[in-house]
Structure 1
Amino acid sequence: VEHGIEDKVDSIIVPTEEVIEVKNGEKKITERTLYPGYVFAHVDLDTSLWLKIQRLPKVSRFIGEGKTATPLSDADIKVILDKMENRSAPKPKIDFETGEMVRIIDGPFSNFTGMVEEFDLDHGKLKLNVSIFGRNTPVEILYTQVEKII
């Protein structure tokens, strides 16, 4: 924090969450930002501090209209903090599109390929259309059990 403004900045938050990525068949837990490009700060904002923040590299604007920042409501802040605090199991990183071909890397259908038909975001599953013995068969599988075909 720049000299002379420490007493005006209460906290700075970059909300993140843990996600599971599958690369080359290996599961890896990584952290990603919940709101890319946004930094949330609880500050005592006056004209002097506003100008100093505006001059920081890569700061393009504040949330709000014109030359004033609009404070987030207490309800919005609670939602953001709850998302950060209620970290249960890491969520799978969803990097697939409907119609995309994927390879199953784990489970009874390992090494089969299938086309993504649907997403079940709440349960971390994909519904695939897999060709088994020459017939298209719907298969429900976890995101972590498939990888993109490159």
Structure 2
Amino acid sequence: MPFESCKKWYVARSLPRQESRAEFQLLQQGFSVFLPRVMKTIRHARKLRTAPTPVFPSYMFVALDIGRDRWRSINGTIGVASLIMQGEAPVPVPVGVVESLLDLVDEDGLIRFDRDLCEGQSVRVLAGPFTHAVGVLERLDANGRVRVLLDIMNGKVSAYLDRSALEAA
């Protein structure tokens, strides 16, 4: 993602569940957009499926040079509710916030919060049948598999999971 030194990151709020549409429309207008996504397990009608979902539902980041870019057109873009404003001007995101999120993006364009996991650490499951369960990371495997001791129903259960399904708790 090309980034010029005079540009800053700003937050655009999308209409509910229209983040992808807003991202597409902004990209078509030539704006640099970052919509952080993670893989998440979605339960619907007793079925589980894993899909990329936004880290911050209804919010995305747009790189702008306020003095040069036509930033007011963002507020009229299909799928966008508005830029986050303070008075008459958009509010920039503090330096380092978006950059640290960009550092966590993998080759598939998804945020990976599991890069800094270590054995003995408390973790939370993000995807799969144990979504939202908390446990202790017991073992890391070179193949991306981990063994986690989960606290379920007042007991400890050992489970093998994919490393990307965990985040530090």
TM-score by length of 2: 0.46
Q: Partner of 1:138 in structure 2?
A: 155
Q: Partner of 1:104 in structure 2?
A: none
Please give the secondary structure, in 2, of the residue aligned with 1:39: strand
Q: Partner of 2:40 in structure 1?
A: 19
Q: Report the alpha carbon displacement of residue 21 of structure 1 after superposing the two structures with TM.
A: 5.3
Q: Partner of 1:32 in structure 2?
A: 53
Q: CA RMSD in A?
A: 4.1
Whole-Å separation in 2 of the counterparts to 1:55 and 1:23: 33
- Count of residue correspondences: 110
Instruction: Extract unaligned runs of 5+ from structure 1.
Output: 97-118, 130-136, 145-150
Instruction: Extract unaligned runs of 5+ from structure 2.
Output: 1-24, 116-124, 138-147, 162-169
Q: Partner of 1:128 in structure 2?
A: 152
Please give the secondary structure, in 1, of the residue aligned with 2:53: strand
Q: Report the alpha carbon displacement of residue 71 of structure 1 after superposing the two structures with TM.
A: 1.5
1:87-109 deviation per Cα after TM superposition (whole angstroms, max 9, x unaligned):
3699426756xxxxxxxxxxxxx
Q: Partner of 2:77 in structure 1?
A: 56
1:36-88 deviation per Cα after TM superposition (whole angstroms, max 9, x unaligned):
11121112234972321111234223234222111223311222212323636
1:75 paired to 2:96 = yes
Go from structure 1 to structure 2 and tell me whether the alpha carbon gap of 1:67 and 1:21 turns closer, same or farther (over 3 Å shift).
Answer: same
Please give the secondary structure, in 2, of the residue aligned with 1:36: coil
TM-score by length of 1: 0.50
Go from structure 1 to structure 2 and tell me whether the alpha carbon gap of 1:82 and 1:25 turns closer, same or farther (over 3 Å shift).
Answer: farther
Q: Partner of 2:65 in structure 1?
A: 44
CA contact (8 A) 2:39 2:51 kept: yes
- The percentage of aligned residue pairs carrying the same residue is 15
Please give the secondary structure, in 1, of the residue aligned with 2:156: strand
Go from structure 1 to structure 2 and tell me whether the alpha carbon gap of 1:81 and 1:47 turns closer, same or farther (over 3 Å shift).
Answer: closer
Q: Which amino acid counterpart does residue 151 of structure 2 have in structure 1? A: K
